[in-house]
Amino acid sequence: MCHRILKNFIVQCGDYTRGTGTGGRSIYGSRFDDEPNGLRLKHSKRYILQMANAGPDTNGNQFCFMLKAAPHLDGKHVVFGEVVEGFEVVDKMEQAGVEKDGMPLQHKVSFTNGGEFLF
């Protein structure tokens, strides 16, 4: 479930228990520490994947697709990957977004059978 989509900024997903951004647990429990290598990576372009958090070492089960470069998040949110194909899926999710935080989404957004780690 993607509960927060701000056009030209972010698609935030996770929280499979409530679907609102207020719930959920990770495989590590409620919260886990930042990964130093991920904090060194940059929010340099569209399609970067990062962990959502509420401050240092508060990662949970929420993550974000970046919709543009966001250098103000560098060193604050762990970057863990990027979309390498299927860009149109992220673009389609963005279409359901809103202009300002707090506005309801135009449509429910979720995805299934997604994700593949490439090393």
| Predicted local distance difference test score (pLDDT) of residue 76 | 98
Find the mean pLDDT for residues 83-103: 90
Token digits of residue 60: 């949970």
Contact predicate 105/11, CB 8 Å: no
Instruction: Please choose, from the candidates 58, 65, 106, the residue with its C-alpha nearest in 3D space to the C-alpha of residue 87.
Output: 65
Contact predicate 84/56, CB 8 Å: no
Find the mean pLDDT for residues 17-36: 77
Sheet containing 48-51: which strands, arranged edge to edge? 2-6, 10-13, 63-66, 48-51, 79-82
- What confidence category does residue 10 fall into, taking pLDDT thresholds of 50, 70 and 90? very high
Domains (range + CATH), the chain: 2-69+77-95 (2.40.100.10)
Percentage above 90 pLDDT, the chain: 58
Question: Bigger pLDDT: 25 or 44?
Answer: 44
Find the mean pLDDT for residues 52-72: 95
